[in-house]
């Protein structure tokens, strides 16, 4: 029996842009569109075509990208009550985009018709019908987003159904039921979607949920279970207020938990990469605890869990992380046991060397006693293992570094770091400036090495944390510095501990670079 196909409609470039603090440039939007096309989503909603010139330029440019898998849709609303369809800015802007698909939003909640549109219910139905008909006559596939449908159905089911019927009779290709306020629980979405499916058996239904009750993904799955065959959402759940349904979870749940055909399974293996790419472009820190694609989604800390996983991964993992392009991680911390070390060393194919395992364990315990903490610094742990194995190859040799800070009479603060290194047979002696000693050291270190290792230009320091290890020692206390770095492929953490915050920072900085330069 062939699995039923669920179409995936991505609205990251419109709804996702409504996330607080997120703004995509034209180049950003084009890059994300290419990424989504490579993932293989069925539809990419490009934006609200009538909102600003940037959106219009996007539609001009995206047609030149040669997308292979996704249909671009231009978004707009039904005609204004005081305009004819032929004179309506929103509808004509959609047509000007020359996209194969048009998505229009219309009111399905009588409250909005009466208090926002301020027209009669019958007039609202006319707006929907004429708008859909106008776009269909222009040979567009039309997706009708029934805004606030679930709230509308609860308040006035007769009118909510009429709004769908108006769109369907005018030729809409898909009727999307929207939980625009995000307040509808999954059981309600299932019951209402089931009722709609019984009413519109021959018309494709879609689902569009917001996450205000933390139920957007669950609501989407329930709508699909009730008959929806078109699912909308955004990568990483971006969106206004609490966001939209997270397509990373929706896609994985439909493909691996629900038995539906959704995208190509080889494409789904890039899901983690897509998630991180969108976060990078949006200038947002990736959420480590995100299901399926987060750094912590397959991270294991308790020794008991790790011991079981090494025997059978299904004991503590619901799928193989490789299915979504993620990876299994064993965390090293004060809760670690022999199993955690074994799990980490399996990557190096030395997990059977009992003497070496004991050596690593002892070293970890000694370093933790000094204040080291490896749970957020796996890169430092891997470098430590290489050093104990004798396989570590230093990228450079430190001769000296010096940091100076100057406070001038006008209030200006200047920080300089001087670094002298030996790289191969070459001496590098450079000065870097920064907004503080760590930033200046980072600048000087990179300046020294980038000519030898050009890929360092792709590495960005994204987080810096300091914690006092033994606070009772006062000003003589040791500090632990944890640095997180990222490139276009991955994120990694390093740690340094010292009684001097500059030295602790230097140790973590060096590890962050050494880790990426290891063969």
DSSP string, 388-424: HHT----S-EEEEEEEEEEE-TTS-EEEEEEEEEEET
Question: How far is CA 458 from each of CA 144, 330, 491, rounded to the nearest angstrom?
Answer: 42, 26, 12
Asked if pLDDT for residue 164 goes beyond 60, the answer is yes
Q: What is the mean pLDDT of the chain?
A: 90
Assess if residue 56 is contained within a domain: no
Q: Which of 341-355, 395-409, 481-495 has the lowest mean pLDDT?
A: 341-355
Shared-domain flag, residues 334 and 258: no
Give the model's pLDDT for residue 207.
98
Q: Look at residue 3 in the predicted model and tell me its pLDDT.
A: 79
Residue 338 pLDDT > 80, yes or no? Answer: no
Stated as kind and residue range, the H or E segment containing 133 is helix 121-137
Whether pLDDT at 428 is above 80? yes
User: CB of 113 within 8 A of CB of 119?
Assistant: yes
Residues 266 and 167 in one domain: yes
pLDDT digits (tens, 9 = 90+) for 366-381: 888 888 888 778 899 8
Does residue 319 belong to any structural domain of this protein?
yes
- Predicted confidence at residue 360, as pLDDT, reads 83
Only one residue has tokens 């480590």, namely: 288
Give the separation between CA 348 and CA 333, rounded to whole angstroms.
19
At 430 the pLDDT is 93
Task: Please report the DSSP string for 149-208 in residue order.
Answer: HHHHHHH-HHHHHHHHHHHHHTT-SEEEEEETTS---HHHHHHHHHHHHHH-TTSEEEEE
Q: Quick check: is 157 in a domain? A: yes
Among candidate residues 388, 411, 426, the one where a domain is terminated = 388
> From CA 294, how far away is CA 275, in angstroms rounded?
9
Instruction: Report yes or no on 351 lying in a domain.
Output: yes
Nearest Cα neighbor of 366 from 497, 473, 481, 500 is: 497
Report d(CA 403, CA 519) in Å as an integer.
31
**Which domain-ending residue is among 338, 358, 388?**
388
The reply to whether 382 and 404 lie within a common domain is no
Question: Are both 99 and 143 inside the same structural domain?
Answer: yes
Percentages helix, strand, coil for the chain (3-state, rounded to 5) are 45, 20, 35
d(CA 443, CA 412) in angstroms, rounded, equals 19
Residue 423 sits in a domain whose CATH number is 3.30.160.270
Same domain for 340 and 264?
A: no
Assess if residue 62 is contained within a domain.
no
Both 135 and 264 in a single domain? yes
Answer whether residue 193 is part of any domain: yes
Q: Are residues 340 and 225 both part of a single domain?
A: no
What is the average per-residue pLDDT within 352-374?
A: 81
What's the confidence (pLDDT) of residue 302?
A: 66
Residue 170 belongs to a domain: yes
pLDDT above 60: residue 299: yes
Residue 434 φ/ψ, nearest 5 degrees: -160, 180
- Cβ atoms < 10 Å from Cβ of 71: 17
Tokens of 347: 């990557």
Distance from C-alpha of 482 to C-alpha of 379, rounded to nearest angstrom: 11
**Nearest alpha-carbon partner for 233 in 216, 247, 253:** 247
Are 173 and 222 within one domain? Answer: yes
Position 333 scores a pLDDT of 57
In sequence order, what are the residues at sequence separation of 6 or more whose Cβ sits closer than 8 angstroms to the Cβ of residue 420?
398, 399, 400, 401, 427, 428, 429
Range(s) of the domain holding residue 255: 75-281
**pLDDT, tens digit, 9 for 90 and up, residues 177-228:** 999 999 999 999 999 999 999 999 889 999 999 999 999 999 999 999 999 9
Q: For the CA atoms of the chain, what is the radius of gyration?
A: 28
The dihedral sign for the CA sequence 446, 449, 452, 453: negative
Question: Residue 63: inside a domain, yes or no?
Answer: no
Residues 6+ apart with CB under 8 A from 198: none
Where a domain ends, among 325, 358, 388? Answer: 388
**Is there a single domain that holds both residue 408 and residue 449?**
yes
Q: Can you name the residues that pair with 419 across neighbouring β-strands?
A: 401, 430
pLDDT at 295 over 80: yes
Classified as helix, coil or strand, 25 is coil
- Asked if residue 465 and residue 334 are part of one domain, the reply reads no
Q: Indicate which CATH number applies to the domain containing 264.
A: 3.20.20.70
DSSP 8-state code for residue 394: -
Residue 274 and residue 322 share a domain: no
Confidence of residue 519 (pLDDT cuts 50, 70, 90): confident
The verdict on 383 and 411 lying in the same domain is no
Domains in the chain, number: 3
């Amino acid at each position: 029996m062939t699995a039923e196909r669920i179409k995936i409609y991505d609205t990251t470039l419109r709804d996702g842009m409504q996330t607080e603090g997120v703004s995509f440039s034209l180049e950003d939007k084009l890059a994300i569109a290419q990424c989504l096309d490579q993932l293989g989503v069925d539809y990419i909603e490009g934006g609200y075509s009538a909102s600003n010139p940037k959106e219009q330029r996007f539609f001009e440019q995206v047609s030149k990208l040669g997308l292979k898998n996704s249909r671009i849709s231009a978004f707009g609303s039904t005609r204004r009550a005081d305009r004819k369809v032929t004179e309506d800015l929103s509808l004509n802007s959609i047509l000007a985009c020359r996209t194969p698909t048009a998505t229009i939003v219309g009111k399905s909640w009588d409250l909005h018709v009466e208090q926002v549109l301020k027209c009669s219910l019958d007039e609202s139905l006319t707006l929907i019908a004429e708008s859909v008909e106008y776009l269909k006559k222009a040979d567009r596939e039309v997706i009708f987003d029934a805004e606030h449908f679930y709230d509308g159905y609860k308040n006035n089911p007769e009118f909510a159904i009429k709004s769908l019927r108006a769109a369907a009779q005018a030729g809409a290709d898909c009727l999307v039921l929207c939980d625009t306020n995000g307040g509808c629980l999954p059981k309600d979405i299932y019951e209402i979607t089931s009722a709609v499916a019984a009413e519109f058996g021959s018309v494709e239904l879609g689902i569009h949920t917001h996450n205000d009750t933390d139920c957007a993904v669950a609501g989407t799955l329930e709508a699909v279970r009730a008959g929806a065959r078109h699912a909308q959402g955004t990568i990483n759940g971006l969106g206004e207020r609490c966001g939209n349904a997270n397509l990373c979870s929706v896609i994985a749940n439909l493909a691996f938990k629900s038995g539906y055909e959704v995208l190509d399974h080889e494409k789904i293996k890039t899901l983690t990469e897509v998630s991180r790419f969108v976060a990078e472009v949006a200038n947002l820190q990736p959420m480590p605890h995100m299901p399926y694609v987060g750094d912590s989604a397959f991270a294991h800390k308790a020794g008991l869990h790790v011991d079981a996983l090494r025997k059978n991964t299904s004991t503590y993992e619901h799928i193989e992380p490789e299915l979504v392009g993620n990876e299994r991680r064993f965390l090293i911390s004060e809760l670690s046991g022999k199993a955690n070390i074994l799990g980490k060393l399996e990557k190096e194919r030395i997990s059977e060397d009992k003497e070496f395992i004991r050596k690593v364990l002892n070293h970890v315990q000694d370093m933790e006693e000094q204040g080291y903490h490896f749970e957020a610094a796996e890169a430092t742990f891997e470098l430590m293992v290489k050093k104990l194995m004798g396989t570590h190859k230093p990228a450079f040799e430190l001769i000296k570094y010096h940091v100076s800070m100057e406070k001038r009479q006008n209030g200006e603060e200047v920080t300089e770091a001087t670094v002298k290194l030996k790289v191969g047979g070459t001496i590098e002696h450079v000065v870097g400036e920064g907004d503080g000693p760590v930033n200046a050291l980072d600048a000087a270190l990179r300046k020294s090495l980038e000519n030898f290792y050009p890929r360092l230009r792709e590495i960005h320091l994204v987080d810096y944390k300091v914690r006092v290890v033994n606070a009772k020692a006062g000003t003589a206390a040791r500090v632990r510095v944890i640095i997180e770095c990222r490139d276009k492929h991955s994120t990694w953490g390093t740690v340094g501990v010292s009684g001097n915050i500059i030295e602790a920072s230097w140790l973590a900085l060096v590890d962050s670079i050494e880790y990426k330069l290891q063969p």
